[in-house]
Structure 1
Amino acid sequence: MRRRYTLAARHYNSYTPHMPFNIPILLTWLRVALIPLVVGVFYLPVTWLTPHERNLAATLIFIVAAVTDWFDGFLARRWNQTSAFGAFLDPVADKLMVAGALLVLLNLDGGRCHPIVAFIIIGREITISALREWMAQIGASKSVAVSSIGKIKTAAQMSAIPMLLYYDVLWGAIDTRFWGDLLLWLASVLTVWSMFYYLKKAWPMIKERSGNLS
């Protein structure tokens, strides 16, 4: 009986997905944990923080989260701690961070970003995430690897969001409202461009699989 239990346990463990726990993974989880703080800081009692202090706090939290996005990947590669789970969790954390921030911006001051921009960016992230997951399942994930367009889009997006969270004149010279809005519109254009780029790269596989099903 004991031998049978041991064999069953080994069989179960061989098929149980392994979730590694290391510093890069911890940083990714930290990014996920910071998302509610970016949202929640705007709903604190008015006696706790002034509107400017809320904007500043949310901006700093988002910047910390964005830094962990770069740092976890850097450490994972440097320390050879890359994993399938980390590769899955990292983009999920990114999408949650961006979507959470955009939804907050939509509800601040009558809308600090245009609803169309938020819809385009969030819709694209969901579409491309689903596409990448499907391409990974069929062993063609390299076809939709991150492109230079996607990297520029991410840079514009990650610059625009903290500017719109801060929503004030910085150092007496930089109007973050203007530049944040401009960069977010640029990000939305690049978002559509990169989405069609990835769909074009994946189209032969989509067409082939659709033909096999018919």
Structure 2
Amino acid sequence: MNRMSSAHPRPDWATLPNLITLLRLGLVVPIVILVLHHAQPVLTVVLLAVFGASDWIDGYLARALNQVSATGAVLDPVADRVGVATIALALAVAGHLSLGVVLTIAAVDAALAVTYLVTRPARAPKVSRVGKVRTAALMAGLALIGVSLVPALHPVGAAGRVLCVVGAFLHAVAGFGYVRALLRDNRADPPDM
């Protein structure tokens, strides 16, 4: 056993998957700037693709490298929600996505955040299959809308918008499930007052 590793164990947050999650979160600002300024559509597409792929990569690496962490379990969905909502808002402001999609995402996230703060669960609800499909639909939809920013590929934006509407609907379904799970768990194990 390495003496250094036993004397200084790696903190829960110091993992490669968590670094990738933080990098994904860091991509949000340049993507938003590019979308709002209608600049560099090819670079925008590349960054959106990296944003979406990194969500799969960090989860895969966490499992493959046995680096699943409590920090990652919170950080990954937060990065997803913040990233997707912010990029969707930028696309809506730029006229590429319905504001209804953004408002649906925001309303569900707000309801979930309030429920989470009120119930103060010991752990976050397990990600549901609907939640995974929702995230894939939203990320694919945002990427296709991004691809449509390249003038020659403009028609694929319609498919992206449809995927985002489906993703927003699934977001509401998944969010309801998470709120229900938080409330159920809270009744089973009420927080100390």
TM band (smaller chain): 0.7 to 0.9
Structure 1 match to 2:90 = 104
SS for the counterpart of 1:35 is helix
2:4 aligns with none
- The aligned residue for residue 65 of structure 1 is 51
Aligned to 1:3: none
Q: Secondary structure at the match of 1:80?
A: coil
Aligned to 1:204: 184
8 Å contact kept, 1:170–1:176: no
CA 1:133–1:74 in structure 2 vs 1: closer, same or farther (change >3 Å)? Answer: farther
The Cα shift of 1:203 comes to: 3.4
Q: Identify the match of residue 22 of structure 2 among 29, 32, 39.
A: 29
> 2:52–2:140: 8 Å Cα contact kept in structure 1?
no
Q: Which has the larger radius of gyration?
A: 1
Paired residue for 1:163, among 121, 139, 144?
Answer: 144
| 25 and 193 in structure 1: CA distance in 2 versus 1, 3 angstrom threshold | closer
Per-residue deviation, residues 96-140 of structure 1 (Å, max 9, x unmatched): 2101211111111xx2111121011122134335545666x4436
1 or 2 for the larger relative contact order (CA 8 Å, sep ≥6)?
A: 2
Q: Distance in 2 between matches of 1:103 and 1:171?
A: 24
Cα contact 1:168–1:175 (8 A) shared by 2? no
State the secondary structure of the residue aligned to 1:124.
Answer: helix
Alpha-carbon distance in 1 for matches of 2:176, 2:35: 35
Stretch moving more, 24-33 or 121-130: 121-130
Structure 2 SS opposite 1:178: helix
Gaps in structure 1 of 5+ consecutive residues: 1-17, 45-50
Q: Could you say what secondary structure the match of 1:82 adopts? A: coil
Whole-angstrom distance in 2 between the partners of 1:129 and 1:167: 32
- For 1:76, the equivalent position in structure 2 comes to 62
CA contact (8 A) 2:12 2:71 kept: yes
1:55 equivalent in alignment to 2:48: no
| 1:118 lines up with 2:139 in the alignment | no
Instruction: Work out the CA distance in 2 between the residues paired with 1:180 and 1:62.
Output: 13
Q: Select 2:174's aligned residue among 172, 194, 213.
A: 194
1:105·1:113 contact (CA, 8 Å) conserved in 2? yes
Q: Kindly indicate whether residue 131 of structure 2 is the aligned counterpart of residue 147 of structure 1.
A: no
TM-score computed with the length of structure 2 as normaliser? 0.79
Q: What CA distance in whole angstroms lies between the structure 2 residues aligned with 1:22 and 1:201?
A: 29
Residues of 2 paired with 1:25 and 1:208: CA distance? 31
Structure 1 residue 175: Cα displacement: 2.5
When structure 1 is superposed on structure 2, of 59-68 and 174-183 the one drifting more is 174-183
Distance 1:43 1:150, change over 3 A: closer
Q: Post-superposition shift, 1:165? A: 2.1
The residue that corresponds to 1:39 in the other structure is 32
1:93 pairs with 2:79: yes
The alignment yields a C-alpha RMSD, in angstroms, of 3.0
**Contact 2:62–2:68 (Cα < 8 Å) also in 1:** yes
- Aligned counterparts of 2:68 and 2:48: Cα–Cα separation in 1: 24
